[in-house]
Structure 1
Amino acid sequence: MSETEAIPPFKAIVEGKELTQVPDDLFIPPDALEVLLDSFSGPLDLLLYLIRKQNIDILNIPMTSITRQYLHYIQLMEAKRMELAADYLLMAAMLAEIKSKMLLPIMPKQEETEEDPRMALVKRLQAYEQMKQAALLLDSIARQERDNFSIQFEPEIIETIKSYPEVALQDLIHAMQAVIQQEERLVHHQIEREILSVRERMNHILTQLQQQKVVLFTSLYSLEEGRMGLVVSLLAILELARQSLVTITQTHAFAPIYLQAA
């Protein structure tokens, strides 16, 4: 049965009573042999199970009918499930053997020593079920070259040939000397940023205001001083204004800033 096929519902008739649930300790294969008798209708596996549990008297089982249905089952199954058909052949043979022993008269001396033939069936069925469960377990385990396949791969070995340039020792010496001379010609320059003082810039502004009545703020620093000169000049005029030494004038926002001596 493939994985996509649905499992058919279980149904059996035992002495006129319908049975719709498989016993927990019984395994019935998907293509089980179904037998139809007067007192039983269902898989042969279940019939053997009930005989083992002594729920059905084996003397009431017509072996001729089971044999005929088994032969018909063989024709239907053909060769696709012959291992299952062989299992049922063994079961049918066991039933026939046990029933024949049950029908034979028992001598008085043998009553105490002879074993019930149904007990032999129970033992053989237990061993058979153990082997069947073990076979199912082994079949569920992944097999090499059936479920898993190994890959044969041999990496290609590429031999690399190292080639070195033909250079004379004297040429290497000259090249090394040229590198040393070039290193000696390199001059390292260290640039130090000029430190601007707010106090010195305040004195510079007061000096300019002594020479001019009005000084434009942008004239207090140079482009070379960059942002640092702008910040120092701004801090200087704010400090002078706080000390009431200069007056800052601006007509509107973003207009030029003028300074006058207070």
Structure 2
Amino acid sequence: MERLTFKLPVFEGPLDLLLHLISKHKLDICDIPIAELLEQYMAYLDEASRMDMEFTSAFLEMASRLVQMKSAMLLPKQEKDPREELVTALLAYQTCKTLAALLAVRRQEHFVRAPQPLPRAQTYRLRHRPAELAEAFVLARGKAKAKQPPTADTFSGVVVRAAASVTTRVLHVMRRLARGGGQRFRTVFADVSSRSEAVATFLAVLELVRAGRVQATAEGDDEILLLRRGTVKWE
């Protein structure tokens, strides 16, 4: 998947950006390769932040959702596709854009009178209770804050953090078991600091058991799950 060439367009929202990336790289909207799409999405946000472009927190929320979907795709087969909700939203947004473009064309085909100026009222005759004025002020102040661009701290933990590698966690588990004896299953998660690392560690244990390099047995009255070196020779 080629990288974006940055003469950055301005998008109305994260769905608009995702549709642009899907169209640009000819991706199947019903079977989205989340890892590739996430890479392009993060590249846009990174470049936009360097160019001091303003974009709302909705873009950061979508980045977080894509990272979560990528982690979920590493898990064994699930009943519900983690991408289903995103695909539904994209298809609906794509339909709205198509209809909006059609309406714009039809609007140009018909005469539309320009808005007529109204005389400005010189006297405001309505009366309001103090509580209503206070509520209106709080509401207006909240909307003003929502329009402010996100700070650099907003990106931490969403844009910078990389997904853990299953290969790295395989080496971690093998090193723990190389000391000899059995290791409790939960001990291989002792140094896990994120959900991505926990998923990668679990997949690493499954892969080692499947390959015969690790044996998993339940022992004791409490049937505690222990991991030991398997019968297949370690390289």
The structure whose RCO (Cα within 8 Å, separation 6+) is larger is 2
Q: Give the alignment's TM-score, normalised by structure 1.
A: 0.27
